Chain A
Amino acid sequence: MTDLELHGETAPPMSNGEIIFEAPWQNRLFGIAEAMYQQGYFDRDTFRVYLIRAITHWETENLGQTDQNYAYFDCFQNALTQLLQDNALLETSALEHRILELQARPHGHDHHDHDHDHDHDH
């Protein structure tokens, strides 16, 4: 898997090269949210409200957990999903159906190449 790589002039100087995205799906999810925002489907303040709500919910459910278990991008995904559903941009049933379809793909399937968490080539 690869992470969003900062390079060239934007390369973080000194010891700034910490991984921001721990898995490609997080990178892609960020891109989806940012692209939807840029195209005017929602504003940042609204998304922030959803994100704060998702984070608060996670923290309530996971009191006492240590930092390394923190699932920020799970919260980010929940926030984006809820926001899209509340704005009638995404239907819950369609989403669940699509997830099942993607799950049922045969090995070696031909699909979007952004995150499969496995290490063979397509």
Chain B
Amino acid sequence: MSDQPSPQSLRTEAIETLLIEKKLLTSEAIDTVLTTFSEQVGPMNGAKLVARAWVDQSFKARLLEDATTIVQEYGFEGGQVDKLIVKACSESVHHVVVCTLCSCYPWAVLGLPPRWYKDPGYRSRIVREPRKVLTEMGLTLPETTSIKVWDSSAEIRYLVLPLRPAGTEDLDETALAELITRDAMIGVAAIEPPS
């Protein structure tokens, strides 16, 4: 491993130190941001919404009708959700989310986006050949299930409400939330039943 910091690391440190010297920013402000994202924001927020929607039909209806208001009611922190739309999967329709232009993502409910979400390959191919990409990512859907791809934007973010797996009838909301994955809420994975 080299003793020399990478050029990107040096540039980042240079930006930070200059902004601090100009009193535009403090180290504490940066630390606070990172602490917030590491400790308070993550896919469990989205998992809570999905689990409740699985057990409460009236909540599910509200979530599909106006998820933005529900996120505000829950008080989830971590970035804006100007407008959040939840798309519910069914046996006949599967939903998957992308941002074709950059990396728009519902931070408040899913935390920070995974690396692959930002890659050019995913961003372009999931639109052109979603079934093939999903299969490559480990999700093989029946031919009878159609796939809808939702392109996020600065204004609209999407969350996928995955199908509740069989064999979970006896689980409560908390136990259900533990089954729910980030990838399923992006739409690139199914929820596995408890082992």
Chain A residues at the B interface, C-beta cutoff of 8 Å: 4-16, 18-20, 22-32, 34-36, 38-39, 41, 44-45, 48, 51-52, 55, 59, 66-67, 70, 72-74, 77, 80-81, 84, 89-90, 94-95, 98-99, 102-103, 107, 111-112, 114-119
Contacts and interface: CB of A to CB of B under 8 A. Distances in A.
B44 A22 contact: no
Given A89-B24, A95-B15, A11 B8 contact: no
B61 interface: no
- Chain A CB within 10 Å, residue with most, of B7, B80, B118: B118
Contacts of B9: 23-25, 115-117
B42 A12 contact: yes
B104 A31 contact: no
A16 B34 CA distance: 19
A99 B14 contact: yes
Contacts of B86: none
B49 to A, nearest CB: 14
B171 interface: no
B182 A116 contact: no
Interface residue tally on B, bucketed by range: 35 or more
A10 B39 contact: yes
Interface SS of B by simple majority:
helix
A79 to B, nearest CB: 9
B38 interface: yes
B179 interface: yes
A33 B45 CA distance: 23
B124 to A, nearest CB: 9
B144 interface: no
B166 interface: no
Contacts of B33: 30-31, 34-35, 38
B43 A107 contact: no
Interface of B: 1-19, 22, 24-25, 27, 29-34, 37-45, 47, 79-80, 101-104, 111-116, 118-122, 154, 177-183, 192
B15 A16 contact: no
A13 B178 contact: yes
A98 to B, nearest CB: 4
Contact of A32 (B6, B19, B115, B182): B19
Contacts of B2: 117-118
B34 A31 contact: yes
Given A16-B181, A16-B183, A39-B25, A99 B115 contact: no
25 contacts: A9-B42, A9-B44, A10-B41, A12-B181, A15-B183, A18-B114, A19-B115, A20-B113, A20-B114, A22-B115, A25-B12, A28-B34, A30-B34, A34-B33, A48-B104, A55-B101, A67-B116, A77-B8, A77-B11, A81-B15, A94-B18, A102-B5, A103-B4, A118-B1, A119-B1
